[in-house]
Chains A and B, each alone.
Chain A
């Protein structure tokens, strides 16, 4: 019992170590600040200001705005669910949803297995492993705009285009990559995969070093071969990371903007209009004219779908990830 302690009771007193207990008369600045003194507030001030103005308020405003008719000229007026109805009635929305799903699906097909296989192979490299990972990561540090503009040149439709020349050596093409409604989307996904795969490889490599080698040793005593070890030890050990990279990739691809915006601007024939591109057009393109309400309504719907999907995903995979 702290009978000699005259300080106000509470957590501030409880956390003081034995050293200060020997000097009960002194009330250290830390202890005082823990009570919520002005020093603490001063340290918190930058974070509070920046988060309040540029994070918490806009989040609240997004919800409010989705039920309002907002333009910069007149005062916002509440219109109920009209924004949501407008968006849902837009025939382009369903094209955008379909295209976004298609992008996500292709990105999974291209981009999910490649980093895993590459990381598995790279983790066995003895010498120059740093070189391997540096090469794999290099595309990630290239500014995305530069990458897209560079690939746009590679995708030149003429027979002298870089990719068409390469494929010409094996008798394929020439392809009108970005002008052909059928291959425009796969072309976008290919570039996006190139730009992002390195980051995922690094994550997998880090996770692979965490696999307990004694598991492999135990399996070898039982006579397990290499495929057996990968299937029964490596992949199950990575499942936590694999589950998370999967959902992160879904969340990321659902918000794809840069590639469709810079490569094709949604074309040809709306084949690459994505949900985010549509949000951008609602809000910032003059032809549709500053419909901020519709834009926030659609972005909230997207966020809601992603949230529901994530919750369901973690529910469904919980038994698998924790077992």
Chain B
């Protein structure tokens, strides 16, 4: 947590800020920084937005021209319909929604049991859950693939089903850790009061713990959706059927047989949702809730 004081000042002393030379050089540096950030952070996105509605020949001949010779909105329509971006888009949405639901179910129930119900074996159990954080994902790649091919007890392969993406997404120890920590810091008096009023473990979970944990549920949700949207290697392995593939898997293949302007329109469509989520939940991303919190802890 940052106190109000710490934001008041940085390296430069308040007395120095009053000196014109310091003020002006700081302004110059910040102006240059802002220009660089716009060029590097926003530039490629603007270029993509422009190229998505520009005829191929313009993009090829004069890639940096500010204004295209003609607006070609048909690119977006063609990408959406003829190239069937709509199908891959909805596949991506379905994969993200399922992965989100499984991750939230596993993390909230698991975190609740470990942090609030606290069984005797809880310490040992969270130990072996958290230990998986230290196993690099590359170790899991092949054995997880073979597990999906021949899952225990199920008797049928999960290949080419969305479950092959949804269920492994749930085995995320980081989510469990975040939930467990948040639940453990909820005020104990509320639990006691609910208990005295006769609330059982299910009622306590649904009516007290979950509503009080909206902030952390929001953080885990947004990062779950973004992570699923970004995923490439795993869905490529377990969804070889093109009709089931998400955008990230399908785009590299499309590049080979789709015209450049339509392809760029497809890239732009794929970027809209994550960027919109980012703009809507900026504070969540920029407070470092997902990353910084983990590192500082």
Contacts and interface: CB of A to CB of B under 8 A. Distances in A.
B201 A141 contact: no
A109 interface: no
A305 to B, nearest CB: 10
Interface in B264-297: 264, 267, 270-271, 274-275, 277-279, 282, 285-288, 291-292, 295-296
A226 to B, nearest CB: 6
B288 A206 contact: yes
Given A46-B109, A133-B286, A149 B252 contact: yes
Q: Indicate the member of A17, A35, A44 with the most B CB atoms within 10 Å.
A: A44
Question: From DSSP, what is the main secondary structure of chain A's interface residues?
Answer: helix
A154 interface: yes
Interface string A114-132: 0000101111110010111
Contact of B12 (A122, A124, A156, A194): A124
A65 B30 CA distance: 55
B38 interface: yes
Interface stretch (A90-98, A292-300, A315-323): A292-300
B113 interface: yes
A165 B63 contact: yes
A241 interface: yes
B35 to A, nearest CB: 10
Nearest to B200: A29
Interface in A1-60: 10-11, 15, 17, 19-20, 28-30, 33-36, 39-40, 43-47, 50-51, 53-59
A120 B264 CA distance: 36
A286 interface: no
B114 to A, nearest CB: 8
Given A130-B286, A143-B248, A202 B292 contact: yes
Contacts of B73: none
Interface stretch (B79-87, B142-150, B212-220): B142-150
B196 A138 contact: no
A120 to B, nearest CB: 7
19 contacts: A35-B119, A40-B113, A40-B119, A40-B201, A44-B114, A54-B171, A125-B30, A141-B275, A142-B44, A142-B271, A142-B275, A143-B271, A146-B267, A149-B252, A206-B292, A209-B7, A217-B13, A296-B143, A300-B139
A230 interface: yes
B106 A47 contact: yes
Contact of B44 (A136, A139, A251, A257): A139
